[in-house]
Amino acid sequence: MNNKLTALFKTKPKNLLNIFFTAGFPKLEDTSTILSALEQAGVDLIEIGIPFSDPLADGPTIQESSKIALENGMSIEMLFKQLHQFRAQNAAFNTPIMLMGYLNPVMQYGIEAFCKRCQELGVDGLIIPDLPMYIYLTEFKEVFEKHNISNIFLVTPQTSEKRIREIDENSTGFIYAVSSASTTGGNTAFTAAAGYLGKLRDMNLNTPILTGFNIKNKQNFEDACSYVDGAIIGSEFIRQISQEGNLQNQITNYIQSIR
């Protein structure tokens, strides 16, 4: 299977909207509803979070959704089972899918087995925030490449230019630029990140850049896209689907409010 991420970026698209949600939230069986609704609403990329008991890089919203998802019974095995079923029933589904998860559950699953399953299920990229670059390069890269999976690195306003260049060289897919040094879902004004995103844009990296953390609404999204190739919405999306109501409508309405 081709890597849809790589294919997507070949056309040098702009204003990409990437939505993150936690697998198994709000209900265990919502994965397929959310995936379908997101594609129908015209989202460009989808990031599925694998819940972890100790999500260090996440703020309260995603901590809470992870906790509920685990209580609902979500696990890597369960997510793979759901994705398998989803693919079988939605052959035309064409949006790139990435998984985001912490290293420990992936390690326990076994990195080789994990990547193999990802490839079989059409997962195009992985975001593992606590997998440092040097460990990726020495222990994981070969397996990722063998299974045609992009590893998505993060950069922050504190990342040095030298390291950004190094990350650029080792990236396939895109670079995930954290808009301010913070756990997910924080309140830092997006405008504070403008200088940093401008700097990233001016570095003319080979790898496309999406920015995330603290993007909530149309204004934030457009601001972000004026600097880089697209933006990622996570915590705010989780908040939207946490409310009472019809999940599908919530998703459609929210995505329409952004685009």
Partner 1 sequence: MSYQVDKNGFYGEFGGAFIPELLYPNIEELQENYLEIEKSPAFQEEFNQLLKDYVGRPTPLFLAKRLSAKYGGEIWLKREDLCHTGAHKINNTIGQILLAERLGKKRIIAETGAGQHGVATATVCALKGLQCIVYMGEKDIERQAPNVARMKMLGAEVRPATSGSKTLKDATNEAMRDWINNPEDTHYIIGSVVGPHPYPDMVARYQSVISKEIKEQLQGLPDYVIACVGGGSNAMGAFYHFLDDPSVQLIGVEAAGLGVHTDKTAATLTLGTPGVLHASRSIMMQDKDGQVVEPHSISAGLDYPGIGPAHAWLKVSERAQYLAVTDADALTAAVECSRLEGIIPALETAHAFAVLGRLGLKPTDRVVINLSGRGDKDMDTYMKELDLFQ
Query: Which range, of 11-19, 71-79, 86-94, 143-151, touches partner 1 by CB under 8 A?
Result: 71-79
Query: 174: Cβ–Cβ under 8 A, 6 or more apart, which residues?
Result: 5, 9, 150, 152, 207, 208, 209, 210, 229, 230
Residue 28 lies near partner 1 (rule: CB under 8 A) = no
The number of CA neighbours under 13 Å toward the Cβ of 10 is: 7
Residues 174/181/99/165 CA torsion (nearest 10 deg): 30
Query: Which range, of 6-14, 36-44, 123-131, 223-231, touches partner 1 by CB under 8 A?
Result: 123-131
Residue that has been written with the tokens 């003319």 in this structure: 204
CB of 67 to partner 1, least distance (A): 7
Give the whole-angstrom CA distance, residue 108 versus residue 85.
Answer: 23
Query: Cα dist. 188→15, 17, 127, 150, 191 in Å?
Result: 22, 20, 23, 29, 9
Both ends of the chain: CA-CA distance in Å?
30
Binding-residue total with partner 1 (CB under 8 A): 39
Residue 54 lies near partner 1 (rule: CB under 8 A) = yes
Q: Which of 47, 223, 229, 236 is catalytic?
A: 47
Query: What is the token pair recorded at 213?
Result: 């953390």
Binding mask 128-167 for partner 1 (x = CB under 8 A): -xxxxx-x-----------------xxxx-xxx--x----
Give the whole-angstrom CA distance, residue 186 versus residue 180.
Answer: 9
DSSP annotation of 140 reads: I
Q: Which of 58, 64, 124, 236 is catalytic?
A: 58
Neighbouring-strand partners of residue 232: 18
Which one among 108, 249, 253, 256 touches partner 1, defined by CB under 8 A? 108
Query: Which range, of 1-9, 100-108, 202-210, 219-227, touches partner 1 by CB under 8 A?
Result: 100-108
Which one among 183, 242, 248, 252 touches partner 1, defined by CB under 8 A? 183
Q: Is 139 a catalytic residue?
A: no
Q: Is 47 a catalytic residue?
A: yes
Which one among 40, 85, 89, 104 touches partner 1, defined by CB under 8 A? 104
Residue 71 lies near partner 1 (rule: CB under 8 A) = no
Query: Which range, of 5-13, 125-133, 228-236, 247-255, touches partner 1 by CB under 8 A?
Result: 125-133
Residue 247's CB is within 10 A of a number of other CB atoms, namely: 16
CB of 57 to partner 1, least distance (A): 4
Question: Per this entry, what is the length of the chain?
Answer: 259
Residue 203 lies near partner 1 (rule: CB under 8 A) = no
Residues catalogued as catalytic: 47, 58
Residues found near partner 1 in the complex (CB under 8 A) = 52-54, 56-57, 59, 63, 67, 70, 75-77, 102-109, 129-133, 135, 153-156, 158-160, 163, 178, 181-183, 186
